[in-house]
Amino acid sequence: MLSTLFTARLSLSFQYSRALSLGIFKADNFVEIHTAHQANEVLLKEIQLHIAFCQEWGISEQDLQKVPESTACVAYTRYVLDCGIKGGLAELYTALAPCMLGYAAIGKMLGSQTPTPNNPYQKWIDTYAAPDFQQAAAEFSAMLNRLFENVSAKQQQQLQHIFTTATRMEIDFWQMGLDLS
């Protein structure tokens, strides 16, 4: 059960890293490069955590690479990449926001609670509650705010549509994990 969830999460993380790299490519200044790089750096730590979890369950890194991406993962990550390829940083970061900011909020909330003894998810919680992840999310949020400063009313509507769609896809991804599909 847990292994299915983490193999699916690894597929998403792989594609999410590609999208953050697109953010580096599309950057117009060093702050924009740093923000995408910082987010990608904490994502790589997350990927290593998920690989370690899978190895604990007897799934090698080679086996992980053979696992096909779920339909929910393909739909979500290709949507994010498409937003970034067709649009600018505002569109890309808006599509990435539900995942990045959602995990930061969940990590912060769960990390503030007293740990449950023998919680199999504690390392996961610690990763998203960690100062480096929270800092990367704060920088990401600040970047979004800067990117939104001078958008037109039409672009604001487009960004709202992107955010709403990406949020629905994030929910579908979580549901896929819950359904173990």
pLDDT tens, residue by residue, 133-179: 999 999 999 999 999 999 999 999 999 999 999 999 999 888 887 78
Take residue 90 and report the two structure tokens written for it.
């505002």
Domains along the chain?
A: 2-179 (1.20.910.10)
Triad 114, 129, 88: Cα angle to 5°: 155
Q: Is the pLDDT of residue 85 over 90?
A: yes
pLDDT band at 35; cut points 50, 70, 90: very high
Smallest Cα–Cα separation from 26: which of 127, 114, 96, 77?
A: 96
Q: Is the pLDDT of residue 1 over 60?
A: no
End-to-end alpha carbon distance in the chain:
10
Triad 176, 113, 44: Cα angle to 5°: 50
Q: What distance in Å separates the CA atoms of residue 24 and residue 40, rounded to the nearest whole number?
A: 10
Residue 124 main-chain phi, psi, to 5 deg: -65, -50
Residues 6+ apart with CB under 8 A from 26: 32, 84, 88, 89, 92
Mean pLDDT for the stretch of residues 58-66: 85
Q: What distance in Å separates the CA atoms of residue 179 and residue 64, rounded to the nearest whole number?
A: 20
